[in-house]
Chains A and B, each alone.
Chain A
């Protein structure tokens, strides 16, 4: 099924690329979204089944793929808006949509991959697709970001491959190396502890590019600084989730062995360093997208910290991941409109947004409140669960430290947001220059309200999938 999906996606992408016509890619993207949703529904019905030797309809994969399906619709809508505002070139838009389809398919392939080499290949493809998506408008800064992202990701992924190879040497038997996650998890306890640890660290290091955490976060932050908002909505959410899936799979292998507590410590340290760095960097930011990028870093760090607590933290971690995906995507969509108003992503060029666009600023404010985990937001629930796990698990100092950092982060982000909403309208502002679509904030409101609703009243499907995912972990 996945092979069919990937085949159709590739065909669609090539078709759109070859025939750059508005109708072709409108129909193509509509068809692709339909295909993606079909895949989600199909895989949910076949939950747990294998799809060839390389893929499996795993509960985590279904959950995250469903999120991607949901995000694809507004993403394509906002991408269209973006092109109508800035580029007005059908050919480039076709290339963009075509690359977006490749990216989304590769991300889905990462989610569903059972074989860790297939996962690795898919992650490499996401790197290439993201580089094209960043660079599509041919300015210098995007080029620089694309180069850095491409290069650092490639190096990181090569490092991750080294880790995979070490796992392969450890699992090799007479009939050949079986690199499926479930097989590796079943033989993990017989592996040499040193090599398992090395592999885990190498893979975590390599995929930290995608996960947007320490140590290889710099290029990702740069990429997010220059990427168009619709692209950002995918690479800050679905792609981060892909990195999370990759790390989570390897973690679930290590989890079966006596090295579990060691691996948890590694995750904890990574998380703590990342959240500290994000906090420090937030003071220096001058662009909104960079602020959001560091905010993503903070949330992923929180998720890693939650994972490191062990059983009590798993549920909270995955819930946080889901909520963060929805909120961050919505924020980026809304920021697309902000950028259209001020023609700049710099904080200093913004101000008075509340007077200029009331609905839009309400959406923005709601998004910021949600991402900061201020009570009605679902993120509050998940963060609350994380801290509950931290305190009940005896991580008192860690918990307090993270809380302090979160307070600082709230202060910084709120002050920048206040500047955008209530400061004087900057001199550079040209009235009437922005093309405003009336329906633009609808998707954002839907996403934010969904998060609030899901936080208070998580449906059976969501909790069921999360519980299924974590039941194999120790």
Chain B
């Protein structure tokens, strides 16, 4: 079951690069949250209830509901364009994301390691690289935030490979930290939009010497 969800997770990654609509980005992030919930639920049933509740909270409530809702608020408040075009044509992005997926599979294939859970590692790696690529090809800071969240989801996927064994307090701290970081970034996005009247990153160039 877990492997099916992981493949689905990888499929959402492909769709991130296919779509250019802001609403699709938000929707896909929510879907990723639900898939992560499924993986976590399947993978971590054996750990103590407190940790389980925390991880379910993190995926289902925070990743699937709170953050997408927050992004939607941001989007409406700042009257963002419905479509965010990327610098690189979608066509090439799709080729590149396929190459990233294949590359990380091949990398995992060459690794012979019994301790790490390779299937998590593979897709997590592809997601993190994909997220960075997402940030690189997009021109506005809202999409950059989306890219950051993709990276976060990738690291979370990998953390599920060990997450069950992390101390409760530590996981709680990580959860709060990430949530606060996203909220603060969102607040700053609002401020940038208010002061610069745009969210295009190319307009953020007052610092150049």
A–B touching in complex (CB under 8 Å)? yes
Partner-B contacts on A (CB < 8 A): 53, 115, 117-118, 120-121, 124-125, 127-128, 131, 135, 140-141, 143-148, 150-151, 154-155, 158-159, 161-162, 165-166, 168-170, 172, 176-177, 179, 192, 194-195, 222, 225-226, 284-287, 290
Partner-A contacts on B (CB < 8 A): 111, 113, 115-117, 121, 124, 128, 132, 135, 141, 144-145, 148, 151-152, 154-155, 158-159, 161-162, 165-167, 170, 173-174, 177-178, 180-181, 184-185, 188-189, 191-192, 195-196, 204-207, 209
Q: Nearest 3 A-B pairs (CB), nearest first?
A: A176-B165, A169-B116, A177-B165
B-chain residues with CB within 8 Å of residue A170 when the two chains form the complex:
115-116
Q: Is the CB of A177 within 8 A of B162?
A: yes
Among A121, A194, A284, A290, the residue within 8 A (CB) of B174 is A121
Smallest distance from the beta carbon of B179 to chain A beta carbons, Å? 11
A-chain residues with CB within 8 Å of residue B141 when the two chains form the complex:
147, 151
Q: Is the interface of A mostly helix, strand, loop or mixed?
A: helix
A-B CB pair tally, cutoff 8 Å? 127
- Which residue of chain B has its CB nearest to the CB of A141? B206
Alpha-carbon distance between A285 and B207 when the two chains are bound, in angstroms:
11
B-chain residues with CB within 8 Å of residue A290 when the two chains form the complex:
209
B-chain residues with CB within 8 Å of residue A179 when the two chains form the complex:
166, 170
- Which residue of chain B has its CB nearest to the CB of A190? B115
Q: Is the CB of B177 within 8 A of A124?
A: yes
Smallest distance from the beta carbon of B52 to chain A beta carbons, Å? 15
Q: Is the CB of A144 within 8 A of B206?
A: yes
Alpha-carbon distance between A51 and B205 when the two chains are bound, in angstroms:
46
- Which residue of chain B has its CB nearest to the CB of A219? B207
A-chain residues with CB within 8 Å of residue B116 when the two chains form the complex:
166, 169-170, 192, 195
Alpha-carbon distance between A53 and B170 when the two chains are bound, in angstroms:
11
Among B145, B154, B161, B180, the residue within 8 A (CB) of A128 is B180
Alpha-carbon distance between A150 and B111 when the two chains are bound, in angstroms:
35
Q: Given A117-B173, A195-B116 in contact, is the A158-B152 Cβ separation under 8 Å?
A: yes
Q: A158-B152, A192-B113 are in contact. List 20 more A-B contacts (CB 8 A).
A: A118-B173, A121-B173, A140-B196, A147-B204, A148-B204, A151-B141, A151-B145, A155-B135, A161-B155, A165-B161, A168-B162, A169-B158, A172-B115, A192-B111, A192-B115, A194-B111, A194-B113, A225-B207, A286-B209, A287-B209
A-chain residues with CB within 8 Å of residue B174 when the two chains form the complex:
117, 120-121, 161
Q: Given A162-B124, A165-B162, A169-B162 in contact, is the A151-B185 Cβ separation under 8 Å?
A: yes
- Which residue of chain B has its CB nearest to the CB of A202? B128
Alpha-carbon distance between A225 and B206 when the two chains are bound, in angstroms:
12
A-chain residues with CB within 8 Å of residue B151 when the two chains form the complex:
155, 158-159
Q: Given A150-B185, A177-B166 in contact, is the A165-B177 Cβ separation under 8 Å?
A: no
B-chain residues with CB within 8 Å of residue A159 when the two chains form the complex:
128, 151
B-chain residues with CB within 8 Å of residue A285 when the two chains form the complex:
209
Smallest distance from the beta carbon of A58 to chain B beta carbons, Å? 19
